[in-house]
Amino acid sequence: MKALGFALLLVLALAVLPMLVTRAGRAELDSRLNRLSLYLLLLMLIGAAVRLSSLWR
């Protein structure tokens, strides 16, 4: 479970970071953010929940 949380956070970072580097990527990210913000937030919450649950064990 710990590896799953880490993998989710890594995939999220790898999906967002290249878009933040270029100006066109930032514009594309802004246009997609309206649609994907809930999915990204859900992935981050799942990753945080998995990491927190692994701390309690």
What pLDDT, in 10s, does the model give residues 1-57? 677 778 877 887 777 776 667 777 777 777 766 666 767 777 888 888 888 888 776
Question: The pTM is what?
Answer: 0.38
Q: What single-letter amino acid sits at 56? A: W
Four-residue CA torsion sign, 27, 32, 37, 40? negative
14-46: b (≥16 Cβ within 10 Å) or e: eeeeebeeeeeeeeebeeeeeeeeeeeeebeee
Asked if 45 and 3 touch (Cβ cutoff 8 Å), the reply is no
What is the extent of the structural domain holding 8? 2-56
Ramachandran angles phi, psi of 50, nearest 5°: -65, -40
Total count of domains within the chain = 1
